[in-house]
């Protein structure tokens, strides 16, 4: 509100994509005023990742909406990583499998519906 009428605006952005996002375009989650989004939309959609030819950049609401969505994204990813660690422990300690055997299991999962860079 302090910037109101000054011509200045700000945005808060959550950015996701890791190494691939850095090289080929990230997913961009924008929070701020709708006017702020309109000022940067063309640039951010141009540099963002694309899915089915649609940009992975969106205005998600005012204030910290972009960072909030990124925080939820991170929480889901961390839960997935914990689940992978738990499964590794069950395969190792419960079934007596070694690292190579477990790697083969994860490789098999990565070729189907469970495909994920988290288990590469």
- Give the Cα separation of 64 and 112 in Å (integer): 36
- pLDDT surpasses 90 at 29: yes
Confidence of residue 10 (pLDDT cuts 50, 70, 90): confident
Residue 117 DSSP symbol: G
Instruction: Return the HEC string of 25-45.
Output: CCEEEEEECHHHHHHHHHHHH
Q: Is 70 a catalytic residue?
A: yes
Q: What local confidence, expressed as pLDDT, does residue 76 receive?
A: 96
Choosing from 34, 77, 86, 101, the catalytic residue is 77
- State yes or no: pLDDT of 115 exceeds 90: no
- Is pLDDT larger for residue 10 or for residue 89? 89
- Selected residue with higher pLDDT from 11 and 120: 11
Percent of the chain at pLDDT > 90 equals 78
pLDDT at 82: 97
Q: What pLDDT score was predicted for residue 30? A: 97
3-state secondary structure (DSSP) of residue 111: coil
Residue 3, pLDDT above cutoff 80: no
Buried b (16+ CB within 10 A) or exposed e, 54-65: ebbbbbbbeeeb
pLDDT digits (tens, 9 = 90+) for 66-110: 999 999 999 999 999 999 999 999 999 999 999 999 999 999 999
């Amino acid at each position: 509100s302090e910037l109101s009428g000054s011509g200045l605006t700000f945005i808060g952005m959550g950015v996701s994509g890791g190494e691939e996002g850095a090289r080929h375009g990230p997913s961009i989650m924008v929070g701020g005023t709708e006017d702020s989004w309109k000022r940067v939309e063309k640039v951010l959609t141009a540099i963002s990742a694309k899915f089915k030819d649609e940009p992975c950049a969106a205005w998600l609401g005012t204030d910290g909406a972009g960072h909030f969505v990124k925080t939820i994204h991170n929480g889901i990813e961390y839960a997935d990583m914990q689940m992978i660690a738990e499964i590794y422990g069950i395969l190792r300690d419960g079934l007596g499998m070694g690292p190579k055997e477990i790697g083969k299991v994860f490789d098999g999962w990565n070729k189907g519906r469970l495909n994920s860079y988290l288990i590469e």
